Amino acid sequence: MSENKKIYLDNAATTATDQEVLQEMLPYFNEKFGNPMSVHSFGQEAMAAVDEAREKVANFFQCSPLEIIFTSGASESNNLSIKGSVRSFQLSHKDKDQKPHVITSSIEHHCVLDTCKSLEKDDLAEVTFLPVTEKGFINLGKLKEAIQPNTILISIMYVNNEVGTIQPIVEIGEFLQKLNQERLEQKLPKIFFHTDATQALNHLDCNIDKLGVDLLSFSGHKIYGPKGIGGLFIRKGTAIRRIQSGGDQEFKLRGGTHNVPGIVGVGAAIEKLSQDQNKSEKIIDLQNYLIERVLKEIPKSNLNGSRENLAPHIVNFRFDGVEGESLLLALDLEGIAVSTGSACAAGALDPSHVLLAMGLKHEQAHSSLRVSLGKNNTKEELDVFVEKLKKIIERLRRISGDVLKDFQ
């Protein structure tokens, strides 16, 4: 491949919209531009497109179209899941002095952590933030211990966006199904189960009944669809209330004019996931190749997280003696895009909360780099990346060593 070709290895941050997806979206910007809530033919044409997209999404999750609502993305879906559950408890519970209890993990996306922290700050809910192991997994035993009589929601992400660990979602779902039967007899509130599946859709089984979840958030731009669109699966019977006022769109749960081009795009993108059967196998091969080369050829390199229960597209490396931001910028000058963590935290000087929660020291967290693979990446690109990475790390370590000598 050409040395001058840019290489994109930040697919966990966003993906390029697939050309076929884009083509399906285009008519809804100008030719079929009606508002789905309008009664006339222009509006009904747009509503038909929304209904078709909802059907495609429901087919992927193997649920009813009535259980899918469209949002602006996973952040909004996560906010609605958590705040909407708390609001439902507040409005329906007789004892107004009893606050609902929410359980989540310490390595969730910021939109989940910040939502939970705001509920705590406003004295609207009690929240337990579960610790994780050094490999980045929650402990099921600690989750069970954290449950209280007033627990109403557990929110655990399916795949961590920074280190790629796959959490035991199925096991949590099975446990809660049994526990909720006991709680029903004890006249305790049902515990609903939410997962942020944003990083899981591309590669993992998202059959709703197999996972045992009541709420599942997803985003379009992580699955080769457009930005600004996502959705939320809400199992029938789940106690949730709207958190924003407005129109009666999305089964009266999410007011606001439908983003028809985006909805068509996310429907098309999610339909293509089922068609790309060999995508995950290819990316697993690329991931293994990358990990083996880096750990073998670069001294003092480490893998943050685990080789087991690791999503195929995310790898988080640590390079001792190298500052991650410097490494990222040097690679960018070479035309290679990677990340030091979540795209939503870009520009922040604080070390990754995920890596700190896993027990890394501040300097170790600052020495880390996330590489996330996509369906368009090739082995040749990884070869160029590794060779440039080796030279940059050697140079940065040499500079760092010279600076330290000057201070001695």
Give the pLDDT of residue 69.
98
Q: What is the pLDDT of residues 174-226, one digit of tens each?
A: 999 999 999 999 999 999 999 999 999 999 999 999 999 999 999 999 999 99
Give the pLDDT of residue 314.
98
Give the pLDDT of residue 2.
55
Instruction: Say if residue 402's pLDDT is above 80.
Output: no
Distance CA 132, CA 97 (A): 32
Instruction: Say if residue 408's pLDDT is above 80.
Output: no
Q: What is the CATH number of the domain that holds 112?
A: 3.40.640.10
Q: Indicate whether 60 and 11 sit together in one domain.
A: no
Mean pLDDT of 286-294: 98
Predicted TM-score (pTM) of the model is 0.95
Query: In this structure, which amino acid lies at residue 289?
Result: Y
**Does a structural domain hold residue 303?**
yes
Q: What is the pLDDT of residues 35-88, one digit of tens each?
A: 999 999 999 999 999 999 999 999 999 999 999 999 999 999 999 999 999 999
Q: What is the pLDDT of residues 92-108, one digit of tens each?
A: 887 777 899 999 999 99
**Does a structural domain hold residue 300?**
yes
Q: Indicate whether 165 and 281 sit together in one domain.
A: no
Domain count, the chain: 2
Q: Is the distance from CB of 314 to CB of 159 less than 8 angstroms?
A: yes
Q: Last residue of some domain: 275, 297, 324?
A: 275
Beta bridge partners of 132: 138
Beta bridge partners of 219: 230
Distance CA 211, CA 204 (A): 11
Q: Indicate whether 178 and 242 sit together in one domain.
A: yes
**Does a structural domain hold residue 2?**
no
User: How much is the mean pLDDT over the chain?
Assistant: 94
Q: Is the distance from CB of 113 to CB of 104 less than 8 angstroms?
A: yes
Q: Indicate whether 391 and 260 sit together in one domain.
A: no
Q: Indicate whether 345 and 286 sit together in one domain.
A: yes
Q: Indicate whether 233 and 141 sit together in one domain.
A: yes
Q: What is the CATH number of the domain that holds 345?
A: 3.90.1150.10
**Does a structural domain hold residue 212?**
yes
Q: What is the pLDDT of residues 40-54, one digit of tens each?
A: 999 999 999 999 999
Q: Last residue of some domain: 251, 275, 299?
A: 275
Q: Indicate whether 139 and 244 sit together in one domain.
A: yes
Please report which confidence band the pLDDT of residue 165 belongs to, taking 50, 70 and 90 as the band edges: very high
Q: Which residues contact 145 (CB under 8 A, 6 or more apart)?
A: none
**How many CB atoms within 10 Å of residue 127?**
22
Rounded to the nearest 5 degrees, what angle is found at the Cα of 277, between the Cα atoms of 276 and 282?
90
Q: Could you tell me the residue range of the domain that residue 350 belongs to?
A: 7-16+277-406
Q: Indicate whether 148 and 85 sit together in one domain.
A: yes
Distance CA 128, CA 143 (A): 9
Distance CA 216, CA 294 (A): 35
Q: Indicate whether 137 and 265 sit together in one domain.
A: yes
Q: Last residue of some domain: 275, 295, 311?
A: 275
Give the active site residues. 344
Residue with tokens 């669109």: 229
Tokens of 127: 């929240």
Q: Indicate whether 160 and 27 sit together in one domain.
A: yes
Q: Indicate whether 244 and 374 sit together in one domain.
A: no
Q: Indicate whether 11 and 27 sit together in one domain.
A: no
